[in-house]
């Protein structure tokens, strides 16, 4: 039975309970983090904890744990989980209080952490690529914060699934931002390109690792604004996320990307990324 951490205690998932007045439930007033674990080693743990700290600061919620405390409790979950490849999920909400928009005083945040098994993406997705659709990015203007208020992302991802696609790529005012639950990297004129990491985009840890690998291995890359027309003429389109790593998008809105096959630049970066899994 898998264990979770809830407000200072470890317990079986089935026993974990949150009161209905939790502001995470009522308002989506909380933040979260997802950390991939390979062979019981969390990948880029410090970066994820740093991003969590930034999300908490962004919603004006004190970090309930020091980095050492987070690390200790997460490593205990990792050790006790049945599978060695896992994804760690952390959620911190503003806590439990009578429903009222303003911040309640004197309450403690709700802190949840749990591990679940993580399977690699299906081999066929990597071999043939996946399809994606595009939609207008109708989310709010603080997409750099990893908040639990994900309704727009949920609706956009579902539109992709309804059309038999794997992801929905988002376009705001004519420029690519990211996916419903992923970042986007493209190859345009041989250069690995990703949209600017500003308030409209989650600063993905996988994307950061990918760009660092590109830099270290002399693969030309650029972070810049990418217009919709450039997306449609890109040689390669890839999506990145902690749980799906790097996936090639080979069909976009029903049209083949490049030659319709996963491209060499992304494949090279993906194989370098595999090397990060062994500590």
Ligand X SMILES: Cc1ncc(COP(=O)(O)O)c(C=O)c1O
Residue from 145, 202, 237, 252 that binds ligand X (CB under 6 A)?
202
Site string for ligand X, 108-147 (x = CB under 6 A): ----------------------------------------
Residue 240 CB, shortest distance to ligand X, in Å, is: 6
From 84-92, 159-167, 234-242, 247-255, span contacting ligand X (CB under 6 A): 234-242
What Rg value do the Cα atoms of the chain yield, rounded? 19
In this chain, which of 95, 109, 204, 262 binds ligand X, going by CB under 6 A? 204
Given a contact cutoff of 8 angstroms between Cβ atoms, the answer to whether 193 and 224 are in contact is yes
Q: Looking at the annotation, which residues are catalytic?
A: 146
Sign of CA dihedral 50, 51, 57, 61: negative
- Verify binding: residue 242, ligand X, rule CB under 6 A: yes
CB of 3 or CB of 153, closer to ligand X: 153
- The answer to whether 55 contacts ligand X (rule: CB under 6 A) is no
Residue closer to ligand X (CB basis): 77 or 202: 202
Tokens of 234: 């890109």
Query: Residue 159 has which token pair?
Result: 């539109």
Distances (CA, A) of 279 to 18, 42, 191: 36, 9, 29
- Strands (E) located in the chain: 3-6, 9-12, 30-38, 41-42, 86-93, 110-117, 130-136, 167-172, 175-179, 183-188, 191-194, 221-223, 236-241, 245-252, 255-256
Residue number, 87 or 267, with CB nearest to ligand X? 87
Of 97 and 145, CB closest to ligand X: 145
Residues that bind ligand X (CB under 6 A): 34, 153, 178, 181-183, 202, 204-207, 240-242
């Amino acid at each position: 039975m898998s264990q979770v951490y809830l407000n200072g205690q470890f317990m079986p998932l089935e026993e974990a309970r949150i009161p209905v007045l939790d502001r995470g439930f009522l308002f989506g007033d909380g933040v979260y983090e997802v950390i991939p674990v390979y062979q019981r080693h969390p990948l880029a743990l410090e970066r994820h904890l740093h991003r969590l700290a930034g999300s908490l600061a962004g919603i004006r919620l004190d970090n309930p744990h020091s980095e050492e405390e987070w690390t200790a409790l997460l490593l205990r979950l990792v050790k006790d989980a049945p599978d060695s490849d896992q994804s760690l999920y952390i959620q911190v909400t503003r806590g439990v209080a009578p429903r009222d928009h303003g911040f309640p005083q004197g309450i403690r945040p709700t802190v949840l952490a749990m591990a679940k098994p993580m399977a690699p993406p299906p081999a066929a997705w990597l071999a043939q690529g996946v399809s994606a659709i595009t939609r207008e990015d109708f989310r709010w203007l603080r997409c750099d914060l990893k908040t639990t208020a994900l309704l727009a992302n949920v609706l956009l991802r579902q539109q992709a699934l309804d059309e038999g696609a794997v992801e929905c790529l988002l376009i705001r005012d004519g420029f690519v931002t990211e996916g419903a639950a992923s970042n986007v990297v493209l190859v345009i004129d041989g250069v690995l390109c990703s949209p600017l990491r500003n308030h409209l985009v989650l600063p993905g840890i996988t994307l950061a690792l990918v760009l660092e690998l590109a830099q270290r291995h002399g693969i030309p890359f650029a972070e810049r604004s990418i217009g919709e027309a450039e997306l449609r003429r890109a040689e390669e389109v890839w999506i990145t996320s902690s749980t799906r790593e790097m996936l090639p998008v080979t069909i976009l809105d029903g049209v083949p990307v490049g030659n319709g096959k996963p491209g060499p630049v992304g494949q090279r970066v993906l194989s370098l990324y595999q090397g990060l899994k062994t500590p």
